[in-house]
Amino acid sequence: MSIFYMTPVKGEIPVHLLEVIVVQRLEYLKLVLKGENITYNEYLIEDSLYDNVGHFTLCIVAILNGNREFLMFLKKTETELFRLRTNLFSTYELRCFAKKLLKTIKKIVTELSFVNSLEILCQHLVLKHMAKHILTHAKKCCEHKINIPFKQCLSFVANRQVELSNGVALVPCSKWKQYLVSLFEEYMNYKLKTNIRRVGVDPRIKNLVNRLEKEFIPSLLNQGNILLCKDVDNVSKYFPLCMLNLHQILRQKHRLSHSQRFYYTLFLKSIGMPVQEAIEFWKAEYTQSPDGNHRCSHSWEQDEKKFVYGIRHMYGLEGARKNYVSVNCHRIQSMDNCAEGGCPFKYFDDKKLFKLLENHSQISMSQLYELKKKKQYTSACILTLNNIEECDNYRFNFTPVKYFSLNLKQNLLHEINE
Asked whether residue 300 is domain-assigned, the answer is: yes
Residue 206 has pLDDT above 90, yes or no: no
Query: Are 80 and 209 part of one and the same domain?
Result: yes
- Report yes or no on 100 lying in a domain: no
* Residues 342 and 412 occupy one common structural domain: yes
pLDDT of residue 97: 95
| Beta carbons of 182 and 158 less than 8 angstroms apart | no
- 318 sits in the region (left: phi over 0; alpha: psi -120 to 50; else beta) called beta
Confidence of residue 334 (pLDDT cuts 50, 70, 90): confident
Which residue(s) pair with 149 in the sheet? 168
Q: What is the dihedral of CA 388, 392, 395, 398, to 10 degrees?
A: -50
- 212 and 248 part of one domain: no
The pLDDT, as a whole number, for residue 416 is 47
Q: Which domain holds residue 36?
A: 1-88+194-224
Same domain (yes/no): 132, 256 = no
User: Taking the model in full, what pTM does it have?
Assistant: 0.59
Classify residue 80: in a domain, yes or no: yes
Sequential DSSP letters for 63-132: HHH--HHHHHHHHHHHHHHHHHHHHT--HHHHHHHHHHHHHHHHH-----HHHHHHHHHHHHHTSHHHHH
Q: pLDDT of 35-44, one tens digit each? A: 766 778 899 9
Which of 173, 202, 224 is a domain's end point?
Answer: 224
Least confident of 9-13, 221-225, 394-398: 221-225
Do residues 236 and 343 share a domain?
yes
Cα pseudo-dihedral 1, 209, 191, 100, rounded to 10: 0
- Verify that 236 and 140 share a domain, yes or no: no
Q: Are residues 60 and 198 in the same domain?
A: yes
Task: State the Cα–Cα distance between residues 82 and 105, nearest whole angstrom.
Answer: 18
Task: Identify whether residues 353 and 370 lie together within a single domain.
Answer: yes
Per the domain annotation, does 96 fall within a domain?
no
pLDDT at position 394, please?
A: 53
Residues 246-304 pLDDT 10s: 999 999 888 888 888 999 999 999 888 888 889 999 998 898 887 766 666 678 888 88
Of 138-142, 144-148, 236-240, least confident by mean pLDDT is: 138-142
Residue in 284, 273, 204, 214 with CA at minimum distance from that of residue 239? 273
pLDDT of res. 58 = 93
Q: Strand 168-172 relative to strand 145-149: parallel, antiparallel, unpaired?
A: antiparallel
State the pLDDT at residue 362.
64
Indicate if 218 and 295 belong to the same structural domain: no
Inside any domain, residue 29:
yes
Chain segment 347-362, per-residue pLDDT in tens: 888 888 888 887 666 6
